[in-house]
Amino acid sequence: MKRIAMVGMPNTGKSTLFNRLTGAHAKVGNWPGLTVDLFSARLIIGDQLVQLVDLPGIYDLNGNSEDEKVVTTFLAKNRPDLALIVVNASQIERQTVLLRQLMRLGIPLVLVLNMVDEAAALGIVIDAEALCSKLGIPVCLLSAKYGQGVEQLQPAMRKALRDTAALPEAKNDSAKLELLQLDAAVKSSVFVPAQASHALTEKIDRILLDPWLGLPMFFGVMFLLFEVVFILGKPIQDAMAWGFSAFRTGVLEPVLAGLPPALRGLLLDGVYNGLSTVASFVPMIVMFFLCMAIVEDAGYLSRAAFLMDALMARFGLDGRSFVMVLMGFGCNVPALMGTRVIRSRGLRLLTMLVIPLSLCSARLQVFVFFIAALFTARAAPLVLFSLYVISILSAMLTSLVFKRRYVNNDPFVLEMPPYRLPTLRQMILRGWHEVRHFIRRATRFIIAGCVLVWLLTNFPLGAAAGGAETWAGQIGNFLNPILSPLGIDPKLTIALIFGFVAKEIVIGSLAVIYGQEGGALTSAIAHQIDWIQAYSFMLFTLIYTPCLSTIATIRTEAKSRAFTALAIAWPLGLAWSISFLFYQAARLLTA
Amino acid sequence: MTTLTLNRLSQGECATIMALDASAELDQRLVALGLRVGKSVRLLRRARFGGPLHVRVGTTELMLRAREAICIQLLREAPSS
């Protein structure tokens, strides 16, 4: 099968084009010589099936950041039959650097000038035909976001695949001459007005990057975002939980009535209770990701990097690290992969050490659940926000402790893209992606976890379900001396142990341990623990190991066992210390 | 005409890039982001507390720390007031 690779600088809309061409059918796959996964999808071009691979966005092929190595290794070991080089049409002048490097590799190319809508708004006029004949490669002007011009890509790729004679002619000249020729070709076919700037972006930046109000506004926006998710998401979650309960009593219990009690218990109290409790949070999580996606796609995250860099520098990090920590609020795993753009190993490791402290969406479910059970509706949003603050503070504490060990010597140069409004299509794709991600995790961890919890809380035979004689009770009692100073009882201990695998299992396993779901589970927990215990439990959940996937990602990204061990041990110690301090202090103060 | 480095530029001011004086690797990154010799660069703003500079070169806007900006030699056309 022929292979087409997509190459381009960051912020050129490469992934948007990839999604536009492939729909939501992309798969993650391994490649020879690479330790990282890349997105790829099959595509029908003319009468043949080809494989389209999305490579990470990079500035040049000669650099040695992890991302750049991924691209160069891929191109060397899996030489594509064709490469689509995606260029931001309004920045074509500077992006010729990468084009020249690709031309020198001799891979047949199609030049895609993306974001023509923005270029047109800036008054930039591009003569695609002139450019095509001067460069000797096909040129497509399009907007991947709005879809205009995308239809030219099919015939262009078909033609390029068929006739690989469409190679640049200047191949034999010296490198310097090539860049000059390229520049000349671009200059004569592209008209850029002398004053080309995004007027609206400039206006918004004057407000959002205000020297004094910029940072408070940023935190205000983030607070608002969490509020919106909580206030809109909670009723939906309640409704889902009620629906799952009704389905259980109305349909499942009568249907399964004939089964032996043990099997019925396993199916209803194990699998169904666990899975439905977790599933009721999916709408809220999707909403959270959509809000984050709007902030991210709008370009506000790079403003956050700008506003926070001076502060982060004091902690041995930089603005990019801060953005990764924010991304980690969604899911830690992609945030950890995002550190590949950092060249300095010290900064990269330090950033990877703080990312797992980000309050990810899986932990959010646990907190929403406990907060609803033990705090008033008025206090709830503030309690949740306090956990986000502690998440950031513990990240800062961690970097203060380790900044001398992992020294940052990376230059800080970052693009500031114009503000953009994401389209509805992009939002829907994003939401669907999250649902799929949940289903994958559900089938991999959550069902197995819930079954295991059910077995532990119901065996050996004859022990009262969830009682002290069960295996779970024995484990809980064994760990009791370590966790009781934090106010964490044996039942919550079991949930914490399973939380090591994935945080979604925590509430799933609580449902199994208490043999309840929905509102009944909430009130059962509210009767057993008070708010101090609940907050201490949440602090521990926030800080200790987020999940197995995170650990596995740290292991592959850092390529160091010692570092992985540190990334497990440090948060565990920190979680215990902070919960201990909080619980003991709160008990003293309220005594 | 006076020469200066990018970190000395005042807010709103424009100057032409004369030379890049960084390591080969950083040079390459700066060129890829559009900071090329002969191009005109404008300082839009600085972040508080010694934070990064926000500059525009051509149609690209970017941020960089003073430590990196010091490597960029500029030529100021109009005499500074």
Kindly provide the ipTM of the predicted complex, given to two decimals: 0.93
Q: Inter-chain contact B45–A311, Cβ cutoff 8 Å?
A: no
Amino acid A27: pLDDT:
66
In-domain check, residue B72: yes
Segment A471-490 shows an average pLDDT of 88
Which pair of structure tokens corresponds to residue A214? Answer: 């910029």
- Rounded mean pLDDT of A241-254? 88
For residue A242, count other CB atoms closer than 10 A to its CB.
13
pLDDT higher than 60, residue A166: no
Length of chain A: 591
* CATH code for position B31: 2.30.30.90
For A405, other C-beta atoms within 10 Å of its C-beta total 12
Instruction: Note whether residue B81 is domain-resident.
Output: no
Q: How far apart are CA A365 and CA A241, in angstroms?
A: 13
Q: Which of B60, B68, B70 to substitute to test the interface with A, most A CBs within 10 Å? A: B60
Domain count, chain B: 1
Task: Give the closest-approach CA distance of A293 to chain B in angstroms.
Answer: 21
Buried b (16+ CB within 10 A) or exposed e, A14-40: bbbbbbbbbeeebeeeebeebebebbb
Name the band, by pLDDT with cuts 50, 70 and 90, for residue A63: confident
- B56 is a domain residue: yes
Distance CA(A486)–CA(A422), nearest Å, equals 44
Q: How far apart are CA A109 and CA A127, in angstroms?
A: 18
> What is the percent of chain A with per-residue pLDDT over 70, rounded to a whole number?
94
Burial pattern A186-202, b for ≥16 Cβ within 10 A else e, equals beebbebeeeebbeebe
Closest residue, chain B, to A124 (C-alpha): B59
- Among residues A341, A561, A580, A590, the alpha carbon closest in space to that of A481 is found at A580
Q: Least CA distance to B31: which residue of chain A?
A: A94
Rounded CA separation A214/A206 (Å): 9
Q: What pTM was estimated for this model as a whole?
A: 0.85
What percentage of chain A has pLDDT greater than the value 90?
30
pLDDT tens track for A297-334: 888 989 999 999 999 999 999 998 998 898 888 888 88
Considering only CA atoms, which of A387, A395, A391, A389 is closest in space to residue A370?
Answer: A387
Concatenating the DSSP letter of every residue in A323-352 gives HHHHHHTT-HHHHHHHGGG---HHHHHHHH
pLDDT digits (tens, 9 = 90+) for A42-52: 888 888 899 99
Quick check: A168 pLDDT over 60? no
Nearest beta carbon to residue B54 from set A60, A306, A411: A306
- In this complex, is the C-beta atom of B48 within 8 Å of any C-beta atom belonging to chain A? yes
Does pLDDT of A87 surpass 90? yes
The Cα A17–Cα A563 span in angstroms is 37
Q: Which of A12, A4, A88 is nearest to A38 (CA)?
A: A4
What integer pLDDT is reported at residue A164 of this predicted model? 65
Q: Grade residue A161 by pLDDT with cuts at 50, 70 and 90.
A: confident
- Give the pLDDT of residue A372: 87
CB A82 within 8 A of CB A107: yes
Distance CA B7, CA A588 (A): 53
Q: What is the pLDDT of residue A174?
A: 39
CA distance B81 to chain A (A): 24
Tell me if B73 sits within 8 A of B5, measured CB to CB: yes
Top-confidence range, A25-29, A179-183, B9-13: B9-13
pLDDT at A167 over 70: no
Confidence of residue A367 (pLDDT cuts 50, 70, 90): very high
Q: Which domain holds residue B21?
A: 2-76
Q: What are phi and psi of B76, to 5 degrees?
A: -95, 125
Measured from the Cβ of residue A568, the count of other Cβ atoms closer than 10 Å reads: 16
Both tokens of residue A504?
């979604």
Residue B76: both structure tokens together: 């100021």
Q: What is the mean pLDDT of residues A336-350?
A: 88
Residue-wise pLDDT for A502-554, tens only, equals 888 888 888 878 877 778 888 888 888 999 999 999 999 999 988 888 888 89
Nearest CA-CA partner of A100 in A15, A176, A166: A176
Q: What is the pLDDT of residue A46?
A: 82
CA distances from A394 to A162, A163, A315 (A): 57, 57, 12
When pLDDT is averaged across residues A87-97 and rounded to a whole number, the result is: 89
Residues of A in contact with B12 (CB under 8 A): none
Q: What tokens were used for A17?
A: 């084009």
Q: What is the mean pLDDT of residues A436-462?
A: 79
Q: What is the mean pLDDT of residues A82-108?
A: 89
Q: Is the pLDDT of residue A171 over 70?
A: no
pLDDT > 90? residue A395: yes
What is the average pLDDT value for chain A, to the nearest integer?
86
Is the confidence at residue B64, as pLDDT, over 60? Answer: yes
**CA pair distance A456, A25, nearest whole angstrom:** 39
Mean local confidence (pLDDT), B8-29: 89
Q: What is the DSSP letter of A559?
A: -
Q: Tell if the CB–CB gap between B47 and A306 is shorter than 8 Å.
A: yes
User: What's the pLDDT band for A337 if we cut at 50, 70, 90?
Assistant: confident
Q: What is the pLDDT of residue A26?
A: 66
Q: Which of A122, A306, A415 sits opposite B52 (nearest CB)?
A: A306
* CA A291 to chain CA mean position, Å: 13
> How much is the average pLDDT of A268-286?
81
Q: Which CATH fold topology does A2-191 show?
A: Rossmann fold (3.40.50)
Of A66-75, A140-149, A229-238, least confident by mean pLDDT is: A229-238
Q: What is the mean pLDDT of residues A81-104?
A: 90
What residues does CATH 3.40.50.300 cover in chain A? 2-191
A44 phi/psi in degrees, rounded to 5: -100, 120
Residue B41 lies in a domain: yes
* Residue B20 vs residues A100, A342, B31: alpha-carbon distances, Å: 20, 22, 9
Decide if pLDDT at A107 tops 70.
Answer: yes
- CA dist A177 and A555 (Å) reads 44
Q: Å from B2 to nearest chain A CA?
A: 23
Task: List pLDDT tens digits, range B26-63.
Answer: 888 898 898 999 999 999 999 988 899 999 998 899 99
How far apart, in whole angstroms, are the C-alpha atoms of residue A479 and residue A187? Answer: 71
> Touching check for B11 and chain A: CB below 8 Å?
no
Residue type, A290: L
d(CA A461, CA B10): 78
Mean pLDDT for the stretch of residues A345-349:
92
How much is the average pLDDT of A366-392?
A: 90
pLDDT score of A587 = 93
Q: Is A464 exposed, middle or buried (0-12, 13-18, 19+ CB in 10 A)?
A: exposed
Are A450 and A262 in contact by the 8 Å Cβ rule? The answer is no
pLDDT at A31: 62
- What 8-state DSSP symbol labels residue A421? P
Domain membership of residue B28 (yes or no) is yes
Are A309 and B63 a contacting pair at CB < 8 A? yes
- Work out the average pLDDT over A152-170: 72
Nearest to A535 by CA among A414, A311, A305, A379: A379
pLDDT (mean) for A209-225: 90
- Report CA torsion sign: B52, B56, B57, B61: positive
Check CB contact under 8 Å for A97 and B62.
Answer: no
Are the beta carbons of A502 and A441 closer than 8 angstroms?
Answer: yes
pLDDT at B81 over 50: no
Among all chains, which residue has been given the structure tokens 């020294």? A407
Tell me, what's the pLDDT at A216? 93
Q: How confident is the model at residue A170 (pLDDT cuts 50, 70, 90)?
A: very low
- Position A355 scores a pLDDT of 96
Q: Which residues of A touch B63 (CB under 8 A)?
A: 302, 305-306, 309, 319, 412-414, 416
Strand B2-5 versus strand A125-126 pairing type: unpaired
pLDDT at position A270, please?
Answer: 78
Residue B43 resides in a domain:
yes
Pairing outcome for strands A190-191 and A125-126: antiparallel
